[in-house]
């Protein structure tokens, strides 16, 4: 929970100007994203019932914030961790055609998060999902979508630096693609986090594919739930996994910086396999899972894009608390105040 304090950190925008810039970024980017991927905005739930199986269990160890309502027979209700499964249900319910999809504002509370420059108890992101054809469940299509998302990010950066000339654009023109196994082969003596830092330092913007399956060293690059991203299918290049993380080099913090986790979603075969691998086959009886296994949900691709993360990056802030209002340990608050990092 240590805070990184960049040497000679200087806030380039006053707090009141920062608030204006945050709105500019959010409005511009979500409009660019929706046009690039043919998405329409929908209203999303803040909470779901535990019995529905719709909540994202992330790495399987994070506790959802929950409560019970007498009006709903005291059934357990959980604040969402993400809307990965809920979005796919909506694609089916709305009978959205291939090539089109939806996005929404997702707000979550992650009670077990370790708080630092990048992590908060409060999570806000654009959750999006697009219907695809079964024939598009390929790395090629995955990369086409990543290119569109990255282009929208760069266009947003150029917009905001154009309005605030004291900030200079730093993102590279193109994003580099690398598989997690290739990263391990290249840096066998580094941890997964260290590998991310090195590859982002070298290329500036990277999509790391194949998150969730075990690599040749018997370890996962990072965890991924078994019931939304497809991390078990072998792609057309002989690589395992049709998902990944979009990461960039953050010049303020001088470290790798994740913007988005996304991927092509499981089909019935991949869901069956992944639930068995993760020893949670009992989920096959839940409403979402049974509907998918019966072939009653469309093929899709989707992900989440951090709203505060994107604002923090493009406004060249040192702490996520400079672009969102949350709670922080008192020692972090004091450290930030001393360093001129203005927490909202």
| pLDDT tens digit at each of 344 positions of the chain | 678 899 888 888 888 899 999 999 999 999 999 999 999 999 999 998 888 877 776 655 678 888 898 998 999 998 888 788 899 999 999 999 999 999 999 998 888 888 999 999 999 999 999 999 999 999 999 999 999 999 999 999 999 999 998 899 999 999 999 999 999 999 999 999 999 999 999 999 999 999 999 999 999 999 999 999 999 999 999 999 999 999 999 999 999 999 999 999 999 999 999 999 999 999 999 889 999 999 999 999 999 999 999 999 999 999 999 999 999 999 999 999 998 898 98
Residue 59, pLDDT score: 57
Residue 326, pLDDT score: 93
Torsion of CA 260, 266, 281, 108, to 10 degrees: 30
- What count of Cα atoms within 13 Å lies in the side-chain half-sphere of residue 153? 30
Residue 57, pLDDT score: 66
Cα-trace Rg, the chain: 20
Pick the CATH number of 15-338 from 3.30.930.10, 3.90.1150.10, 3.40.50.150, 3.60.15.10: 3.30.930.10
Residue 149, pLDDT score: 98
Structure tokens of 203?
């290329």
Q: Which helix (H) or strand (E) holds 304?
A: strand 300-306
Structure tokens of 180?
């997690």
- Catalytic annotation, residues: 56, 110, 125, 245, 258, 261
Residue 116, pLDDT score: 92
Residue 16, pLDDT score: 86
Separation CA 180–CA 202 (nearest Å)? 16
3-state secondary structure of 212: coil
Domain boundaries, the chain: 15-338
Structure tokens of 238?
């002989």
């Amino acid at each position: 929970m240590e805070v990184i304090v960049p040497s000679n950190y200087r806030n380039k925008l006053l707090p009141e100007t920062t608030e204006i810039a945050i709105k500019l970024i959010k409005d511009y980017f979500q409009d660019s994203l929706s046009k690039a991927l043919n998405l329409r905005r929908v209203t999303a739930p803040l909470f779901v019932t535990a019995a529905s199986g719709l909540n994202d269990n992330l790495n399987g160890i994070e506790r959802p914030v929950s409560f019970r309502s007498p009006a709903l027979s005291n059934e357990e209700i959980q604040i969402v961790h993400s809307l990965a499964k809920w979005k796919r249900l909506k694609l089916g319910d709305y009978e959205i055609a291939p090539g089109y999809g939806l996005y929404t504002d997702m707000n979550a509370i992650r009670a077990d998060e370790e708080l630092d420059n990048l992590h908060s108890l409060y999570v806000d992101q654009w959750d999006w999902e697009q219907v695809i054809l079964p024939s598009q469940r390929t790395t090629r299509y995955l990369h086409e979508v990543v290119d569109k998302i990255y282009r929208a990010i760069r266009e947003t950066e150029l917009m905001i630096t154009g309005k605030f000339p004291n900030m200079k654009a730093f993102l590279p023109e193109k994003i580099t693609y690398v598989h997690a196994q290739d990263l391990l082969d290249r840096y066998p003596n580094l941890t997964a986090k260290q590998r991310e830092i090195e590859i982002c330092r070298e290329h500036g913007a990277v999509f790391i594919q194949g998150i969730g399956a075990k690599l040749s060293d018997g370890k996962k690059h990072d965890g991924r739930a078994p019931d939304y991203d497809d991390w078990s299918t072998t792609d057309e290049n002989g690589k395992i996994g049709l998902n990944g993380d979009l990461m960039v080099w953050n010049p303020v913090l001088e470290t790798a910086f994740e913007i988005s986790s996304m991927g092509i979603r499981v089909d019935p075969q991949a869901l069956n396999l992944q639930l068995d691998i993760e020893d949670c086959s009992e989920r096959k009886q839940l409403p979402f899972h049974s509907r998918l296994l019966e072939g009653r949900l469309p093929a899709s691709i989707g992900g989440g894009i951090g709203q505060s993360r994107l604002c923090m990056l493009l406004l060249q802030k040192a702490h996520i608390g400079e672009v969102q209002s949350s709670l922080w340990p008192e020692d972090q608050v004091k450290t930030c105040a001393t360093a001129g990092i203005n927490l909202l």
